[in-house]
């Protein structure tokens, strides 16, 4: 299954230009495109005439003229399928922008392709756009971001379409938006001939028993976390391979048992009759022994031969009507036992390694939480120290103010 992720962020006044430079990897963020990741594609659209070829100017004017407590932009951060190539990802991004924004909102976008913890590509798109909608009225930079005038739209700024909504409404809209992204992305995956799909349902809706962990970016960049994650992936692959080998082994064994039980392997009646030893023919005359004067020696072989004949005939009479015997299942050989034992040991070892790696990741997360708590405690202590110092500094002044004055 391909990775599915869509997050929405809001940028306040004063953050527009800096964030546009960040996603476009310009100015001080230019080294990021050379060291951390690949800047695959950039673009913009629906800009007013005064910023048609300069999107940074649009975001700079938004920072300057937007209201003090107003939002300058909204941003979609969306994971793109790594199974797609560069052109397929760009086509998917443009299709999403066309369906969601159309020609109403000014936007800038950039596709970044860093390396994930498993060493493979992790493509994603940053799409930042203005809440203000283009209504066909030409406005200058100083008028575009003014408050909207419903009675005389020409005298006010462009209207914001995504304001005044409560938390539940925004939550429902985000859920619907994620499902729209699922439909668009899966359609492009199918068009590209890729048999993987994304699922934007949450972990409870998918029937998962364990909540996925969200590791922050700063933790992902640490070498020990990368090493632990790669070891976890290797252990998971070893476990998968061991399970596959056991399944193949069990399948081959079941096939062999079915073949043994098949009538094709049952011996025919005629073959068993030919293989069964025939009884001693009693009609065959026995050679005469030379007579001697010792009667006991002459009669003893004849008596023994007669006894054998009787036993053979009795055994033949007692034997039931012939039925083909099924070939017994051959016991497992020593080599098979050793192979099965090694597979079980490999599975146990892989499960043990995966448990150790999960424990290591949990330990790293606990250490991070402890560091944050220690930092907060240090900040509180420092703030308390400064407060006490200020109180001690103000104490003589209060004493002077409260001292009795001479008449």
Active site residues: 22
**How far does Cα 231 stand from its chain's mean position?**
15
- Sign for the pseudo-dihedral over CA of 290, 295, 296, 299: positive
Q: What are the contacts of 360-367 at 24+ separation with CB within 8 A?
A: 360/228, 361/213, 361/215, 361/225, 361/228, 361/229, 361/232, 364/219, 364/224, 364/225, 364/228, 365/213, 365/215, 365/219
- Ordered alpha helix ranges (H), 203-333: 217-220, 223-261, 269-275, 295-318
Nearest to 228 by CA among 363, 86, 323: 363
Q: How far apart are CA 77 and CA 93, in angstroms?
A: 11
Q: How far apart are CA 104 and CA 246, in angstroms?
A: 58
Q: How far apart are CA 7 and CA 78, in angstroms?
A: 7
CA dihedral 269, 272, 277, 278 (to 10 degrees): 10
């Amino acid at each position: 299954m391909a990775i599915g992720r869509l997050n929405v962020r809001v940028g306040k006044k004063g953050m527009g230009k800096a964030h546009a430079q960040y996603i476009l990897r310009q100015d001080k963020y230019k080294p990021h495109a050379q060291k951390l990741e690949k800047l695959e594609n950039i673009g913009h659209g629906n800009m007013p005439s005064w910023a048609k070829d300069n999107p940074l100017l649009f975001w700079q004017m938004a920072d300057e003229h937007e209201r003090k407590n107003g939002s300058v932009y909204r941003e979609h951060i969306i994971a793109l399928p790594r199974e797609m190539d560069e052109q397929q990802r760009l086509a998917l991004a443009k299709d999403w922008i066309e369906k969601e924004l159309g020609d109403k909102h000014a936007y800038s976008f950039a596709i970044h392709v860093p390396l994930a913890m498993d060493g493979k590509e992790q493509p994603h798109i940053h799409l930042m756009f203005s809440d203000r909608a283009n209504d066909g009225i030409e406005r200058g930079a100083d008028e575009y971001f003014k408050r909207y005038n419903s009675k005389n739209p020409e005298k006010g700024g462009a209207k914001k379409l995504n304001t005044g909504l409560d938390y539940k409404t925004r939550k429902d809209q985000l859920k619907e938006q994620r499902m729209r992204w699922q439909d668009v992305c899966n359609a492009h995956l199918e068009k590209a001939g890729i048999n993987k799909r994304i699922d934007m349902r949450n972990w409870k809706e998918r029937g998962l028993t364990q909540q996925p962990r969200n590791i922050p970016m700063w933790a992902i960049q640490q070498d020990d976390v990368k090493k632990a994650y790669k070891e976890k992936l290797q252990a998971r692959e070893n476990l998968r391979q061991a399970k596959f080998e056991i399944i193949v082994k069990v399948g081959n064994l079941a096939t062999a048992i079915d073949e043994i039980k098949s009538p094709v392997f049952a011996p025919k009646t005629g073959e068993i009759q030919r293989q069964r030893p025939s009884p001693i023919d009693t009609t065959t005359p026995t050679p005469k022994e030379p007579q001697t004067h010792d009667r006991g020696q002459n009669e003893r072989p004849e008596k023994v031969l007669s006894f054998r004949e009787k036993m053979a005939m009795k055994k033949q009479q007692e034997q039931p009507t012939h039925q083909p015997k099924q070939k017994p299942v051959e016991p497992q050989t020593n080599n098979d036992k050793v192979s099965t034992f090694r597979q079980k040991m490999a599975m146990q070892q892989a499960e043990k390694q995966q448990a150790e790696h999960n424990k290591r990741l949990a330990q790293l997360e606990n250490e991070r939480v402890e560091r944050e708590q220690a930092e907060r405690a240090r900040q509180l202590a420092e703030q308390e120290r400064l407060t006490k110092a200020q109180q001690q500094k103000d104490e003589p002044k209060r004493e002077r103010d409260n001292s009795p004055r001479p008449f």
